[in-house]
Structure 1
Amino acid sequence: MEFTSSAGHSVFEAYFPDGSNITYGRQQIDRRGGRIVLPIQAKARIAAPYRAAFDYHCKLNMPADPIQPAARADCIF
């Protein structure tokens, strides 16, 4: 896994060994205890072997990308 961020851009990107990647604006991620906390909606977009590398939050429930009730159990806040 490779993480990139740029001081000039407010974007977080993670590249995975399987060739997939995710990109989120810096306002959508947090860092806690050295771990990256992504929106819970990202979990479904990350291949299963890499999901445990992140923690997830439930603070961005948007009509176009709602949080499923069952997914809330995986959120740290």
Structure 2
Amino acid sequence: MMINKLHNSNFIQVLIKKAINDMIKFIPELFFSLRKIIFKHFLMIDAIQRILLKSSSNIRHKFAKYTETNVI
């Protein structure tokens, strides 16, 4: 009976150590995935800003052309 309890407690300790090791291995993967997601979002934001900047400069340029030719 005592041997069985000792075996169970060692088994539980081994399981806990294995679970902790697996979690420690998983943490860098989690950070890497988060970093990739954040980087993709920044790229999308940058692309949207470039598109908006380009379209606003085109509008400003067209407006400036229009006002130059139609000055009273």
* Greater relative contact order structure (CA < 8 Å, 6+ sep): 1
Structure number, greater radius of gyration? 2
Which is richer in helix? 2
TM-score, with length taken from structure 2 = 0.13
